[in-house]
Amino acid sequence: MIDRLKKYLADNNLFLVEDKILLAVSGGIDSMVMTDLFIKCGYKVGIAHCNFSLRGEESDKDELLVKQLAKRHKQPFYSIRFDTKQYAKKQSISIQMAARELRYGWFRELCVEHSYKYIATAHNLDDKIETFFLNLTRGTGIKGLSGMPPKNDNIIHPILFVSRKEIEEYAVANKVAYREDATNATTYYARNRIRHNIIPELCAINPSFYSTMEGNMQRIMLAEQLAQQTLAVLIHKACKQEGGLFIIDIDSLKDYQPLSLFLFELLYPFGFTASTITDIENALTEQTGKRFFSTTHQLVKDRERLLISPIPQQNDKEYKIEKSTKFIETPINMVFETMPRSFIESFEAAKNIAYIDADKICYPFILRKWHVGDSFVPFGMKGKKKLSDFFIDSKLSLVEKRRQWVLLSNNEIVWVVGQRVDNRYRIDEQTKTILKIEYNKGYTE
């Protein structure tokens, strides 16, 4: 087993011998065997244990076992207790998701504080196969069928090459103590149903099921790498990013076939489901303005483009800006500079910069999102124009409209931020003092 471990680590370039590795150890058989292997190999490790306070006395016994292991082998030991149920309730997420967020957040803190290069988890070949079937039943792209990667950023899975049966045999032969989580034997969770009901049946059909699946996932991983190379060419040709917008050119997208596959690989990372992506494909030739949502993003069909942006939280707040203010960072980044008219010989023609007659301003400024019914006098015009009509003329997308801020003085719009100054506040021959406002554009709500 040690020889196989060393070969797997080398083949996948998981870490260097001198790197410090933080082992995530629950007290279960997988992580206790992984720890035993790492210690016997002489790697530089620390042992981290999370007590999620979910199983009462049983959780405390898990913690004690791991602590005793670290003490016996004179390895650094770190432990923490979480109120996982409370965190899950507060964040409105599942217990499993809460435990994941809590443990990985803490592991990364330990890495920074104690100079660990990687976090090692004890996922094994069974976990990899179970994940394949979980993803298959939920719907996924090619990547989801290639199983867990050996390395993901600073998280490594060093025992993916070994099955749970082999781990059990190693634990018996090497007298590795461990604790059994009773929930592993239940079929309440989908993963456990796959583990106890489906995989045994597949093994009965094919006695070499594990090695067959390992080979399948390896080939799928290589196919996924090939697909990613082609996808990178497509992204370079058809996609661009502006601030918080991811923009896809529909005409360029149509050059790639099968279109449905490329569209899926482009949109799945933004959380769109397979059925929604099919609806998006059908809408490519339909009217502009159609919108689609994932749990995290929205997509707008805007003429010959698809515009993807994070779903904004509604921001109805008004922000006061006093005369003495030099810059703000919330809700957007703006810099204010007052100067005599004689300081400026020519004006920069940039949408993100406004030059205003400072003597016409009544403080404080009010910064807010635009409202339906808002109007202003666009620079160079005499009459008022509704912002909604101005946006149509400027060909702003629905996403851009939703993100639009306005700066007001005495309830009048001074600047449609990043778009147009109000003509009533323009610089003219009588202007003595200029207020220069610069908007540093990035993604804003």
Establish how many alpha carbons lie within 13 A of residue 79's alpha carbon, considering only the half-sphere containing its beta carbon: 21
The residues, ordered by sequence, that sit 6+ positions from 163 with a Cβ below 8 Å of its Cβ are: 124, 125, 126, 210
**% the chain with pLDDT above 90:** 58
Buried b (16+ CB within 10 A) or exposed e, 270-298: bebeeebbeebeebbeeeeebebebeebb
> Beta 420-421 vs 333-340: how paired, if at all?
unpaired
Residue 378 DSSP one-character state = B
* Residue 443's pLDDT band (cuts 50, 70, 90): very low
Mean pLDDT across the chain:
89
Cα–Cα distance between 182 and 26 in angstroms, integer? 14
Which tens digit of pLDDT belongs to each residue from 247-283?
A: 999 998 888 888 888 898 889 888 888 889 999 999 9
- Are residues 47 and 73 in contact, defined by beta-carbon separation less than 8 angstroms? no
Helix H or strand E encompassing 291: strand 291-293
For tokens 């998701």, name the residue: 97
Which tens digit of pLDDT belongs to each residue from 354-383?
A: 999 999 999 999 999 998 889 999 998 888
Tokens of 117: 């290069």
Which tens digit of pLDDT belongs to each residue from 155-196?
A: 999 999 999 999 999 999 999 999 987 667 666 678 889 999
Sign, CA torsion 362/366/372/378? positive
Number of residues assigned to the chain: 445
Tokens of 292: 């689609």
Confidence (pLDDT) at 188: 62
Q: What Rg, from alpha-carbon coordinates, does the chain have?
A: 29
pTM for the whole structure: 0.61
Closest CA to 298 of 223, 156, 397: 397
Cα–Cα distance between 172 and 37 in angstroms, integer? 14
CA 83 to chain centre: 24
Cα–Cα distance between 77 and 64 in angstroms, integer? 11
Tokens of 91: 């964040």
Main-chain dihedrals φ then ψ at residue 133, nearest 5 degrees: -75, -35
Domains along the sequence of the chain with CATH: 2-124+148-211 (3.40.50.620), 243-310 (3.30.465), 319-440 (3.50.40.10)
Tokens of 319: 């922000």
Residue type, 300: V
Confidence (pLDDT) at 287: 80
- Are residues 262 and 231 in contact, defined by beta-carbon separation less than 8 angstroms? yes
SS3 letters for 200-215? Answer: HHHHHHCCCHHHHHHH
Q: What value does the mean pLDDT take over residues 100-123? A: 94
> Beta 118-120 vs 151-152: how paired, if at all?
unpaired
Cα–Cα distance between 280 and 293 in angstroms, integer? 10
3-state helix, strand, coil in the chain (%, to 5): 45, 20, 35
pLDDT over 50 (residue 445): no
> Beta 385-386 vs 375-376: how paired, if at all?
antiparallel
